[in-house]
Amino acid sequence: MCRRLSKALSLFLGVLMFMFGILKFFQPFRGWFDIQIHESHLPHEAILAGKLGEIVVGCLFILPWLWRSLTAKSRDRLLLLACSMLFVQMSTAIYVHIQPQVPAGVLPLGIKPPVIPVVVLLLALLTAFAVWNERRAETGSDKPTQ
């Protein structure tokens, strides 16, 4: 059950993050993202880092399911790395959403409360939890010690 859950969640998050990273290179998303970063008083370098970071995270979520020769341990490590990176990205997105000078019009769906970043962050945590539990079950570390 955990394997199917982690696969479905990671594929969903992978496509979502990859798509949003690519979209931020094109108008109007490019302009909106630039305004979000500028009005949040984040460094200018955060613009390119945010775009490329989302693309990389998207690839890290998708790659383990396409790369057949990957061991289960390596796959789980990649997924946990992707979840960790996504946690940082969504924490930053929450910070951007709560900045009073960032207008709602430049945020996803024009929603000022950080609903979307919080939901994505929770999905990343759920994915990490599923992968972690699956890893523990495979290694037998949840068996009682004697």
pLDDT score, position 1: 56
Largest CA distance in the chain: 61
Tokens standing for residue 33: 């993202």
142 assigned to some structural domain: no
52 assigned to some structural domain: yes
145 assigned to some structural domain: no
Task: Give the helix ranges, DSSP H, for 1-146.
Answer: 2-23, 29-39, 45-66, 72-98, 115-139
pLDDT score, position 146: 46
48 assigned to some structural domain: yes
pLDDT score, position 109: 86
pLDDT score, position 133: 84
What does each C-alpha distance from 113 to 90, 92, 128 come to in angstroms? 13, 14, 25
Nearest partner of 123 among 68, 92, 82, 95, judged by Cα: 82
pLDDT score, position 6: 81
pLDDT score, position 120: 96
pLDDT score, position 2: 66
CA 14 – CA 6 distance, rounded (Å): 12
pLDDT score, position 72: 82
CB atoms within 10 A of CB 33: 22
143 assigned to some structural domain: no
Whole-structure pTM value: 0.85
Q: DSSP string of 46-78?
A: HHHHHHHHHHHHHHHHHHHHH-TT--HHHHHHH
13 assigned to some structural domain: yes
Nearest partner of 20 among 58, 61, 46, judged by Cα: 58
Segments forming the whole domain that contains residue 123: 2-136
pLDDT score, position 70: 85
112 assigned to some structural domain: yes
27 assigned to some structural domain: yes
Residues of the chain short of pLDDT 50, as ranges, are 144-146
Structural domain count, the chain = 1
